Structure 1
Amino acid sequence: MLMDISSEMIHSLLPVFMTVILGAIATIVGIIEGVAEATALIVKVFSGAVSDYVRKRKWLAVLGYSMGALAKPMFAVATTTGWVLSARFIDRIGKGIRGAPRDALIADVTDPANRGAAFGLRQSLDTVGAFAGPLIATGLMLVWANDFRAVFWVAVVPGFMAVALLIVGVREPDHATASGKPEFPVSRTALRKLPAAYWWVTAAGAALTLARFSEAFLVLRAQQGGLALFLVPMVLVLMNVVYAVCAYPFGILADRMPHRLLLMLGILPLIGADLLLAHSDALPWVTAGLALWGVHMAATQGLMATMVADTAPASLRGTAFGIFNLASGIAMLIASVLAGVLWDRIGPAATFHAGALFAGAALLLLAAREVRNRK
């Protein structure tokens, strides 16, 4: 939660900072965001594998959170998009290092019957930080007359608090440090142990990520509609409030109904959000679209983590999360770059229409598989 507060204070302002202060076009924003988010997801494949091999998940997480904290001051001193790309790259490498070990650590300490609720709770706390950060940024932008850099400096504080809390307050579970020589996970023999159900979940996650580009374009859509600069972070506040409120109930629901059915239902709000945002940049349309985007995130993000944990062997859980995020990272890079190119070449509506098209295709593929499984 603390690291999300730090990150989202910056990320909620960064797209507008790049376009208004640094003069970047939407394609550049898409490339930077796509590279950054893809880097985080791709790095997770290595951190997850290493965490399975050394059976020490906590200190990999500490390393990742520390890199995120150390990258924050770079945003405050950035004078070019190259500086921003470098800062995002370092920050997201840190996110990638910590992500898979953290998720595997959660799976290690939770009972399978409550795993959906556990990941839903983790997602809720993440999202509390994700809307608290933009909310703080909004207040500081108002008080300091749209001083982006001052807000970025304040964001440094909760980042370092998160590192300190992790070092002092988290204990490695006993069963994660079991004796015996472990097999290195990234090997042909180890990967064969991942069942077909896991690979299906990975493919579904990549397809869904391809339909959901960077949230930077949600911020740009609202700003394009004339939203005052100091209110721009409220775009992510609204989306993440809905996300936070809905994530835990959806996590509980994931323990009580077929996962594939819930995933299919979770795609519908994304299609609706894209169509609303494509229709108009007026505030009522954007608001409704953001709310639906938050419902989609709540319904699918914790669910996908639960599906990975349920289909992967315990000894390869970190690797499983890593490979899952590798596939999603490649899809995120493609989606964000394509979104930026469509925005500049055709217009914002084309970006969101493309998102709706990809989401619809993912839904049809899931429905076809469900029909085949019932025959």
Structure 2
Amino acid sequence: MRRRHAIAFILLLGLVSLLADVTYEGARSITGPYLALLGAGAGIVGLVAGAGELIGYALRLVFGVLADRTRRYWAFTIVGYALNLLAVPLLALANSWEIAAALIVLERTGKAIRAPARDTLLSHATEQTGRGWGFGLHEAMDQIGALLGPLVVAGILARMGNYRLAFAALAVPAVLAMVALFTARALYPAPEMLGKNRPSASTTSRRLLPRTFWLYLIASVFIAAGYADFPLLAFHFERTNLMPATWIPLMYAVAMATDAITALIFGRLYDRLGLRILALSVALSLFFAPLVFLGNVAVVFVGVVLWGVGLGAQESIMRAAVADLVPSAQRGTAYGLFNAAYGFAWFVGSAIIGLLYESTLWLAIAFSVLVQIAAIITLQLVRPNEATA
């Protein structure tokens, strides 16, 4: 009975993520040209996008700690989603790029507020289903939304040609996401009761995080730093005339579909094999850089698939492992720290790969591969603790 309720809870939060991703991933697909339409230059567009991501990841540590200290995981989740989703349709009313930029940063801030608390809530339910499969299912639903959002926006623009109308239309999935979230809150006010082990009253969030978590965090930083962001891949495809421009979004769709499928498969394998499967996923995905940057179209396709494989494993297994390495009372802090470090490493790593790409291509490829090899080596040092409530 408890397992059935755990699955229902994961599906409900998965539905929230699906609808939320339709909202903000749909918006993110057009924020660049929308800012330009409002008078922003290329430098402002890049600065707003980068600042939004950096602030969004950095604040996760703060709100993760606060969630653990207050134990108000639902409150942080609801407030975060509300800000996250409210900011998107409000972009339809922006009459200057400064207002639009503030709303974009607000949307990322909302994600920072809710991400550690939501993952902590999910971690309790995944005790019943298997950590990997539970987080993998959630990630798969999340990616379905990430695919649908840009398609919805593209359809509105193709038919109506109006950015403001596109942003306004995204209020529909935003409202539905909040309805699903409040439904989950009403049905499961205490998700910790879904776990196999109920949290001990004596457990405190102020203890030091386990040593194994810190080793795992170092490995995660290496993984993130070695991963090139897709815009750089897209830039390479267009710059080298490797494929028609219309194929590039299709390549991204292939990567996202691979991400969703991989999250489920590797999530299930993680429940059987543990962190070894994460090391295997990194060993597979580290080949994406030479294939994508040096190959012809067919080879690039394989590289993009491997890029999606790595991303799917990262989004499912890596979150699942945090729950296995850290006691429940410290998971908000751990998820906040993990997300902040991972996001910062991705930001810095992508910048380094981009700079190396401009100077010497093989150095960019070597950096990506060697840093991911360092991650595999570091993962061998991680010895997961016994499950802790």
Whether 1:70 aligns to 2:62 is no
SS of residue paired to 1:256: helix
Match of 1:205 among 212, 216, 220: 220
The structure showing larger relative contact order (alpha-carbon pairs under 8 Å, at least 6 residues apart) is 1
* Matched residue, 2:66: 50
How many residues are treated as equivalent by the alignment?
358
For the residues of structure 2 that align with 1:313 and 1:167, how far apart are their CA atoms?
A: 27
C-alpha displacement of 1:148: 4.2
Q: Contact conserved, 1:208 with 1:359, CA < 8 A, in 2?
A: no
Q: 1:87 to 1:235 in 2, by over 3 A?
A: farther
Quote the sequence identity (%). 25
C-alpha displacement of 1:286: 5.2
After superposition, residues 117-132 of structure 1 pair within 5 angstroms as 117-132=133-148
C-alpha displacement of 1:40: 2.2
Partner amino acid for 1:131? L
For the residues of structure 2 that align with 1:372 and 1:121, how far apart are their CA atoms?
A: 25
C-alpha displacement of 1:73: 3.1
SS of residue paired to 2:227: coil
For the residues of structure 1 that align with 2:39 and 2:351, how far apart are their CA atoms?
A: 19
Whether 1:136 aligns to 2:146 is no
After superposition, residues 342-361 of structure 1 pair within 5 angstroms as 346=358, 350=361, 354=364, 357-361=367-371
For the residues of structure 2 that align with 1:79 and 1:218, how far apart are their CA atoms?
A: 33
RMSD: 3.5
Partner amino acid for 1:310? D
Q: Contact conserved, 1:211 with 1:355, CA < 8 A, in 2?
A: no
Q: TM-score, normalised by structure 2?
A: 0.78
* Matched residue, 1:39: 55
C-alpha displacement of 1:199: 0.6
* Matched residue, 1:172: 189
Q: Contact conserved, 1:125 with 1:244, CA < 8 A, in 2?
A: yes
Whether 1:329 aligns to 2:333 is no
C-alpha displacement of 1:53: 2.2
Partner amino acid for 2:374? L
C-alpha displacement of 1:210: 1.5
Whether 1:252 aligns to 2:268 is yes
Q: 1:9 to 1:61 in 2, by over 3 A?
A: same
Q: 1:249 to 1:205 in 2, by over 3 A?
A: same
C-alpha displacement of 1:191: 4.3
Q: Contact conserved, 2:236 with 2:293, CA < 8 A, in 1?
A: no
After superposition, residues 1-375 of structure 1 pair within 5 angstroms as 1-15=18-32, 24-25=41-42, 31-76=47-92, 82-83=98-99, 85-111=101-127, 114-145=130-161, 147-170=162-185, 171-173=188-190, 175=192, 183=204, 185=205, 190-192=206-208, 194-221=209-236, 225=241, 233-259=249-275, 261-279=276-294, 287-338=301-352, 346=358, 350=361, 354=364, 357-367=367-377, 370=380
Q: 1:64 to 1:222 in 2, by over 3 A?
A: farther
C-alpha displacement of 1:112: 6.1
Q: 1:199 to 1:272 in 2, by over 3 A?
A: same
For the residues of structure 1 that align with 2:237 and 2:102, how far apart are their CA atoms?
A: 26
Describe the superposition over 1:321-350 as per-residue Cα deviations: whole angstroms up to 9, x where unpaired.
11111212321332344456567xx27x84
Q: Contact conserved, 2:323 with 2:331, CA < 8 A, in 1?
A: yes
SS of residue paired to 1:334: helix
Q: 1:197 to 1:371 in 2, by over 3 A?
A: closer
Q: Which runs of 5+ in 1 are unaligned?
A: none
Q: 1:371 to 1:166 in 2, by over 3 A?
A: closer
The worse-fitting range, judged by mean Cα deviation, of 291-300 and 57-66 is 291-300
For the residues of structure 1 that align with 2:310 and 2:382, how far apart are their CA atoms?
A: 25
Q: 1:19 to 1:272 in 2, by over 3 A?
A: farther
Q: TM-score, normalised by structure 1?
A: 0.81
Q: Which runs of 5+ in 2 are unaligned?
A: 1-17, 384-389
Q: Contact conserved, 1:13 with 1:232, CA < 8 A, in 2?
A: no
Q: 1:81 to 1:295 in 2, by over 3 A?
A: farther
